[in-house]
Homo-oligomer: A and B are copies of this chain.
């Protein structure tokens, strides 16, 4: 997908390993485990791609930013796993499962701080530090909001879009915007790439939420309907609550903190018997179409093609 930045991403891997290494062996071990546990590097890839399109692109100059973005994502997942008491992520053992909550919480703090350390002395200017700090603020607040909105079917579409913006779209937006700025893009070009990042972020999260409804358990490696079970009301469910003749039954299930497996299966059936899946797919497609349309006009061809491929990849996502 990312041929144009393939070699950049290889250098990035080394940088990530260097960034999490410490005088303390345990800290290095935990950090190494975390950054080598199969992240897809979507965030640094978008950052690097956006920098490439700029007139003053220099790999060594943008790499610390790309690494910092991946480290912030990593640290945030480490803390999420402690909160969710998760044992595995992407097939690998979580830090809390292997080393306990104490090491996991502190390693997350360490990795957050390493991200801010990485970008501190690169001459990026204050705006970039401010945006990254804002990002971590918003991720934390977004997570608190999501976890306090569970089992509340009353929250509608607007609330859903607000939540996924904080959870995913803001992050991808920042990756594109800051990458563009560090690559020397004009404020106008950076703003367009920021809009692109926002839109694919929205599509990415809608698609991710759809997978939880659509796919069989075997395919996604976790039980289907997991969001419903956890009380997280996503777009297809919200659509079904608005349109299904069985809306009352669905509402009773998704707001029940003690729902059984049978109830989850029934909820999935109700959602699938409406146009909710199609509706959500169409929303994702609208975001992707908008993402492609908003790209700056004067991008080098290979960069533009990469952006289009990323958007198409998100639309076709099927795993």
Chain A interface (Cβ < 8 Å from any Cβ of B): 22-24, 26-27, 76, 79, 82-83, 101-103, 105-110, 112-114, 116-117, 120-121, 123, 126-127, 129-130, 132-137, 139-141, 143-145, 147-148
Contacts and interface: CB of A to CB of B under 8 A. Distances in A.
Nearest to A82: B105
A123 B125 CA distance: 9
A22 B109 contact: no
Nearest to A101: B83
A102 to B, nearest CB: 4
Closest 9 CB pairs between A and B? A113-B136, A117-B133, A120-B130, A110-B140, A116-B133, A120-B129, A109-B140, A106-B140, A83-B102
A140 B143 CA distance: 22
Contact of A147 (B102, B109, B112, B147): B102
Give the residue among A24, A82, A116, A132 with the most B Cβ atoms within 10 A: A116
A116 B116 CA distance: 8
B83 A144 contact: no
A138 to B, nearest CB: 9
Given A22-B141, A26-B148, A113-B133, A105 B102 contact: no
A103 B82 CA distance: 12
Nearest to A135: B113
9 contacts: A24-B144, A79-B109, A82-B101, A83-B101, A110-B136, A110-B140, A112-B136, A114-B137, A116-B116
B113 A129 contact: no
A81 B77 CA distance: 20
A137 to B, nearest CB: 5
A298 to B, nearest CB: 31
A106 B79 contact: yes
B106 A144 contact: yes
A26 B144 contact: yes
Contacts of A102: 83, 144, 147
Contacts of A113: 112, 133-137, 140
Given A109-B112, A120-B133, 5 more contacts: A110-B140, A110-B141, A113-B133, A113-B137, A121-B126
